[in-house]
Chains A and B, each alone.
Chain A
């Protein structure tokens, strides 16, 4: 336990010296444990266990396939629709499930927050980590399908690593901001499902980004997930990469979400125990 600062100053003024990431690294054990605990508890006493992590995306994929693959027939560039849809869906799910869980994390742990001090940022971050584990399970399925039905594996696959990292970063920032705001205004909890529904359609998950009219693209790519999902799919399946300008725009928004979200969280953090 010798890792802690030996002198602590407790003051009325808040001093935001950093984003709080150092404290997260110090307490990485706790962060990991929270994330694994959520996985464990979620599938405990269920018959299908971890398979449920696959069930939701597969049902959604089935719907998309029916509507966009069979009825609307979007152009997937020769990729089988299930692969095309799944590639978009799993990254989006990682983001949105992570954001949702992160946003509710403070509210769900209010007893803890009122009784024990630990870096509060651990809660939204561990939620993101949990969604990352779910993502890895789904990714395994995607790789199996890829080996069976997809194009040949290429080195461009490695691009998914930075893409997933940026997605997690954007999700952590956005989730932390929503979590902090939820403490102040319960209203925020009502808005989150709306964000999820709009985002699902405003991101190239069920359809390729190339279908978006050029005039709309600058606005479209303000959604950082638009560029990230398109790029993720391109890395996996060799579809068309989004334009570089869109990638930069998306990255900038992601960084902004991360830094802004964490600063907001740090600013409001001290009030949590009193308000919750």
Chain B
């Protein structure tokens, strides 16, 4: 029978707001006197970092904890690692735990790389014999061999981080807690770390992984748990949870649709915009859009007034979050005259064109020979990343756009 690696029941962690404890005896005495006189708890300044969290993680699972900063992910790992006790509830952990909550926190600047490998290994729970047995592997993995007898205070921050991760990567525990390690190092080292974690989970061990790098989360973990305000807000396959998370995140300040009452919309001359929206081509508004998704823009425009019908020249304006105009595009056919009425304009934007990030979408309406009417910002698109096709690069994909293009390779000379 396979048992769960981690079983969490009603785990709650409260912190007192403000200064947690009395830092001087005087304030401790003063507050206990106050409490006696006023009878009853006057300290109501509690903050729940974790509220009634119940979940279980099976043996061999790789689970990501995602959520905003301060949602409680790191607190959960701290409680599970034994660094801080819960205020209520309990957790049972089956197996030895290794945790890497901050890369390099156990390093002593005056000690050499060699000594620090031992110190850190011992701190993380290895025995001296374990460290000695893995020493060469660790040095090799870190790539700082030439400086192994130099005090780490003379290391570059990259070397420092690589050495620290290398030690943790060679822990031999059944369960590994990892908090934000991919902020570390260059691409090839990132890839090495992810490979290592993949290998780790491939060997049947359990990983709980906290990261803001959602692409890495997607690549590494089949299951994700969304923590919001100290509670489990979603738990399930990574894809679904990420979608839910990103949709919620977008809920504030993102407008994937806008509608106006007739007469209230942006208008000039005889044209009025009544609605604008963006959605995945095979989905509805509000569903996530990533770099591979085919997108559909829809605009509802009313042509008011009488004859003669003006010739209308619509164009979509797409601007990056940095304010750079990315492109404008109108219909393929020549512009035609619009008799009075309400029109729905639809434009298809293929996937594999936009990069991930936020774009603003506006509209440009030419009307006969009037000055064009421009609304630079009607709606936003949040284009998410997609872990496929990245071939090991988990960092930001540079560029304003992100097309997928055909390449050919020919060996034209064997030399």
Contact = CB atoms under 8 A, between A and B. Distances in A.
Interface stretch (A79-87, A88-96, A113-121, A137-145): A113-121
Interface string B110-124: 110001001100111
Given A8-B82, A117-B82, A185 B88 contact: no
Interface stretch (B34-42, B126-134, B257-265, B293-301): B126-134
Contact of B101 (A1, A115, A184): A115
Contacts of A194: none
A interface: dominant SS: mixed
B28 interface: yes
Contact of A7 (B93, B115, B130, B172): B93
Given A8-B93, A14-B85, A185 B124 contact: no
Interface stretch (A154-162, A195-203, A242-250, A268-276): A268-276
Contacts of A1: 96, 125-127, 130, 172-173
A270 B28 CA distance: 19
Contacts, number: 117
A52 to B, nearest CB: 16
Q: How large is the interface on B (under 10, 10 to 19, 20 to 34, 35 or more residues)?
A: 35 or more
B310 interface: no
Contacts of B12: 12
A184 B22 contact: yes
A11 B126 contact: no
Nearest to B116: A37
Interface in B92-106: 92-97, 99, 101-102, 105-106
Interface in A129-165: none
Nearest to B171: A1
Of A7, A184, A274, chain B has the most CB atoms within 10 Å of the CB of A274
A185 B96 contact: no
Contacts of B101: 115-116
A10 interface: yes
Interface in A11-33: 11-12, 14, 27, 29-30, 33
Contacts of B125: 1, 4, 118
B23 A11 contact: no
A75 interface: no
Interface of A: 1, 3-4, 6-12, 14, 27, 29-30, 33, 37, 40-41, 44-45, 111-118, 184-187, 270-271, 273-275
16 contacts: A1-B96, A1-B125, A6-B94, A7-B95, A12-B12, A40-B111, A113-B83, A114-B83, A115-B102, A115-B106, A116-B101, A116-B106, A185-B25, A186-B24, A187-B24, A270-B84
